[in-house]
Chain A
Amino acid sequence: MSQLIVLVVGILAILFIIWWFFGKHQVATGVAEVASNEQTIAINVSGGYSPEEVTLKKGIPAVLTFTRQDPSSCLDHIVFPDFGINKALPKNEPVTVKIDTTKPGEYTWACGMDMFHGKLTIK
């Protein structure tokens, strides 16, 4: 009897792992708030980025504020390769990143080791 329970629980756990890590999941998206000719958005860094996808309006200067809460050194840098930005993210300290929004398109950002990713859309 206990064997059957373990079997069922074990198979469920395996299915859960497959679904959780390999299934398609909705990512958190965010649109920046526009106020007096500046758009701002706060991004929380903990086990990844929330939101993970950010949409910005073209032509309005944008400021992204990253706050790292994750203790992992994996996330201690933020890199925007297209904009030549590479900043350190001290834990629990908001770090602002200014984005030039003159050119529309899709850009990515990543942590210092290119493990975690986020997407920036300017339109």
Chain B
Amino acid sequence: MNVTRRFIISLIFALPMLIEMVLKPFGWMLPGQNWTMFVLTTVIMLVAARPFLQSAWASFKKHHANMDTLVAIGTFTAYLYSIYALFTKQPVFFESAALVITFVLLGQVFEERMRKNASNAVEKLLNLQAKEAEVIRNGTSQLIPIEQVVIGDIIRVKPGQKVAVDGVITEGTSTIDESMVTGESMPVEKQVGDPVIGATINSNGTFLFKAQKIGNETMLAQIVDLVKKAQTSHAPIQKLTDKVSDIFVPIVLIIALATLLCWYVFLGASLATALIFAVSVVVIACPCALGLATPTALMVGTGRSAKRGVLIKNGEVLEAVNHVDTVIFDKTGTITVGKPTVTDVVGDMKQVLGVAMALEANSEHPLAAAIMQKGQASHLTNNAQVNTFKAIEGKGVTAFVDGQAAFVGNIKLLADYTISEELRDTMMTLQNDAKTVVLVGIKQAVIGLIAIQDIPKETSKAAISALKGRGLQTVMLTGDNQRVAAAIAKAVGIDQVIADVLPEDKANKVTEFQQQHTVAFVGDGINDAPALTTADVGIAMGSGTDIAIDAGGIILVKNDLRDVALALDLSKKTFNRIKQNLFWAFIYNVLGIPVAAGAFYSMGIILSPELAGLAMAFSSLSVVISSLLLNVQRIKTVQ
């Protein structure tokens, strides 16, 4: 039986006793009184609590003690004593046993949910692979499962298909979308001799390539390996409480026994009284509040964050956020929009865009999409007559537009056309700003330029300055060249730029920073996954790939970079609440034990097991209330 079901059962059977506890002062009593409680608690002990006993016994045999040991001893002592008390007509405290079990299980249900959410990044990564490959062996082509591909196989890739494994092109040309592995937003043009990466998507051409790396050797497999290693090396949850439990539990048992001996042997109390004190000690020492402190604050904190579009995956992240002093950003798709956008049109806008749109309407080039979008945004319609359309690989496109020869392309297409000095100068200026410049020509003359760039998101600048305002260092990490990276960094105000970083080196760069700093990494691509897991805090953009989302500890659903600051604030608030909760829960245990043991008996302060149980429940409740207060704490919003 799983934890959730055990919890539901114990909740159902404990509920009448809980209601009685609340309504007792108003004169409401449970029908059947002690006997009803006995039946209800017996069901809980047999069904929901038995696994605690089994686990406690198994641990005991190996000289270990854990939370289960304390829960089992506390509840079963309370339960067995209550049965004895029931027959000797003394006060019973079945409800303590029942409620302890219910609260502990509640904590475990929360915890299980937290852990399940944790991650299955690895499987998703591997699902990106192509399932089959078209291999040409002995002159005939055959479709085989990817596992059967061997090194040296010649593989054909058609438009729209995934590249099966890593290799080198032997025939044909194409553009390949490598964004899922490299994070590079622009599709890359490939020809004979160029390397191709498995799991990337071929866009327009058909080509043949020779398999060079298969199975565990491919770049994708290497990334999977990195993510796996980074995941398992993470600090374990609740390490402290668990380390403590190995010592805490036996010590509590010793204190309980010592209490019994003191009262019975030295102070001359009756055995029943002495036993009550001892049981009070065990009951009050039940680390319920301690166990609830973390999960409840987590639930509330993460719930509130989720409403604001910030998903926090686990407690480790919260702890790490507290120490973050450096935020590293991926460029493409994180700081920038992630796809090319037209930034400038030089020349007569209507004419230049008109010709460009007429030509690009038939093209599948990513730059064409940017031009068409700009045209539509400028309310231009494309109804020119276009014929003899021709795409010239690596140069651009030519066609006859309304009967006149026209072209859109780069400088290499210029041979047949003339360009004015002025336009040439403008082109240089635009290129210096790290923009891709496309020339537009008609009737043997260049009539204008279109500059295209992957521009920063509107919110990037505000987001960076918000982080700087919190005293954090900002860094940009990108595979792009220095010029492009520097231009973007300047535009958004980032402190430091590291350009020309290979996808597989991103995690290493993060590690370098970690030697002196606690690092948060913000990214969205598959190539960011290792860095996201390596960083102390991985923050993934919600628009990012599934893999990045899985690898990140925090996900920004709204894709708004300004939420990085919000995420850090919310995490800190939640973590501080956890610390407070743990402190109070711990203090409660430390103070509660001597009181339960009867140390203040002479002053008239005693804690009967019912009261100990009630105090236990109350401390749990106070921790829950303290956690709920997280919901109303003020959080600043970045404008």
- Residue positions of A touching B, CB distance < 8 A: 2-4, 6-7, 10-11, 13-14, 17-18, 20-23, 25, 46-48, 50, 52, 69-74, 79-81, 84-86, 110, 112-116
Contacts and interface: CB of A to CB of B under 8 A. Distances in A.
B59 interface: yes
Nearest to B274: A6
Interface stretch (B130-138, B233-241, B320-328): B233-241
B271 A114 contact: no
B65 A73 contact: no
Interface string B235-269: 01111001001100110011001101100110000
A25 B429 CA distance: 77
B524 to A, nearest CB: 24
Contact of A80 (B60, B232, B246, B249): B232
B239 A114 contact: yes
Contact of B108 (A4, A17, A18, A73): A73
Interface of B: 3, 51-52, 54-55, 57-68, 108, 111-112, 115, 225, 228-229, 231-233, 236-239, 242, 245-246, 249-250, 253-254, 257-258, 260-261, 264-265, 271
Nearest to B245: A115
Contacts of A85: 228, 232
A113 B237 CA distance: 6
Contacts of B245: 115
Nearest to B264: A6
18 contacts: A2-B271, A10-B257, A10-B261, A13-B257, A17-B250, A20-B60, A20-B250, A21-B249, A46-B58, A48-B58, A48-B62, A70-B55, A73-B3, A81-B233, A84-B225, A113-B238, A113-B242, A115-B245
Nearest to A27: B62
Contacts of A113: 236-239, 242
Contacts of A81: 232-233
Contacts of A11: 261
A17 B51 CA distance: 22
Given A7-B265, A48-B62, A81-B233, A18 B254 contact: yes
A7 B232 contact: no
Contacts of A79: 232
> Which 4 A-B residue pairings sit nearest by Cβ, starting from the closest?
A47-B58, A114-B236, A72-B55, A71-B51
B550 to A, nearest CB: 14
Q: Is the interface of B mostly helix, strand, loop or mixed?
A: helix
A48 B64 contact: yes
Nearest to B225: A84
Given A48-B59, A73-B108, A6 B265 contact: yes
Nearest to A11: B261
Which interface residue of B52, B55, B67 has the most chain A CB atoms within 10 A? Answer: B55
Contact of A47 (B64, B246, B253): B64
B332 to A, nearest CB: 28
A84 B232 contact: yes
Contacts of B60: 20, 47
A123 B244 CA distance: 33
A113 B67 CA distance: 12
Nearest to A72: B55
B232 A3 contact: no
B253 A17 contact: yes
A73 B242 CA distance: 13
A70 B232 contact: no
A71 B72 CA distance: 13
Contacts of B67: 74
A6 B67 CA distance: 28
Contacts of B58: 46-48, 69-70, 72
B258 A74 contact: no
Contacts of A86: 228, 231-232
Contact of B250 (A4, A18, A73): A18
A71 B47 CA distance: 13
Contacts of B261: 6-7, 10-11
